[in-house]
Amino acid sequence: MKKARYLIDNMYTADPAVHVFNDKLYIYPSHDIESGIPENDNGDHFDMRDYHVFSMEDINGSVTDHGVALDIDDVHWAGRQMWDTDVAEKNGKYYMYFPVKDKNDIFRIGVALSDKPEGPFIPEKYPMVGSYSIDPCIFDNGNGDHYMYFGGLWGGQLQRYRNNKAQECGKEPADHEPCLCPKVARLSDDMLAFAEDPKNVLIVDDNGEPLKAGDHDRRFFEASWMHTYNGKYYFSYSTGNTHLLCYAMGDSPYGPFTYAGVILTPVVGWTTHHSIVEFRGKWYLFYHDCVPSGGKTWLRSIKVVELEYKNDGTIKTLEGSVN
Q: Minimum distance from CB of 60 to ligand FUB (Å)?
A: 26
Residue 86 binds ligand FUB (CB under 6 A): no
Identity at 124, one-letter amino acid code: E
How many chain residues bind ligand FUB (CB under 6 A)? 13
Residue 14 binds ligand FUB (CB under 6 A): yes
Selected from 83, 121, 235, 237, the binder of ligand FUB by CB under 6 A is 83
Selected from 25, 223, 226, 246, the binder of ligand FUB by CB under 6 A is 223
Of the two residues 159 and 258, which places its CB atom closer to ligand FUB in the complex?
Answer: 159
Of the two residues 223 and 285, which places its CB atom closer to ligand FUB in the complex?
Answer: 223
Selected from 152, 198, 250, 320, the binder of ligand FUB by CB under 6 A is 152
DSSP string, 36-72: -PPP-TT-TT----EEEEEEESSTTS--EEEEEEEEG
Closest listed residue to residue 81, CA positions, set 15, 155, 149, 10: 155
Of the two residues 84 and 289, which places its CB atom closer to ligand FUB in the complex?
Answer: 84
Closest listed residue to residue 109, CA positions, set 127, 121, 96: 127
First to last CA, the chain: 11
Closest listed residue to residue 149, CA positions, set 262, 219, 226: 226
Q: Minimum distance from CB of 109 to ligand FUB (Å)?
A: 11
Residue 107 binds ligand FUB (CB under 6 A): no
> Residue 15 catalytic?
yes
DSSP string, 95-122: EEEEEEEETTS-EEEEEEEESSTT---E
Number of other CB atoms surrounding residue 139 within 10 Å? 23
Residue 273 binds ligand FUB (CB under 6 A): yes
> Residue 222 catalytic?
yes
Give me the catalytic one of 73, 222, 251, 306: 222
Residue 271 binds ligand FUB (CB under 6 A): yes
Selected from 86, 89, 118, 135, the binder of ligand FUB by CB under 6 A is 135
Q: Minimum distance from CB of 92 to ligand FUB (Å)?
A: 28
Q: Evaluate whether 206 touches 215 at the Cβ level (below 8 Å).
A: no
Selected from 13, 30, 114, 236, the binder of ligand FUB by CB under 6 A is 30
Q: Minimum distance from CB of 46 to ligand FUB (Å)?
A: 4
What's the CA gap between 221 and 88, in Å, rounded? Answer: 23
What's the CA gap between 217 and 239, in Å, rounded? Answer: 6
Residue 157 binds ligand FUB (CB under 6 A): no
What's the CA gap between 255 and 28, in Å, rounded? Answer: 26
Q: Evaluate whether 305 touches 319 at the Cβ level (below 8 Å).
A: no
Q: Minimum distance from CB of 317 to ligand FUB (Å)?
A: 20
What's the CA gap between 182 and 135, in Å, rounded? Answer: 10
Of the two residues 46 and 286, which places its CB atom closer to ligand FUB in the complex?
Answer: 46
Give me the catalytic one of 15, 32, 135, 172: 15
Catalytic residues: 15, 222
Judged by the rule CB under 6 A, the positions of this chain that interact with ligand FUB are 14-15, 30, 46, 83-84, 134-135, 152, 222-223, 271, 273
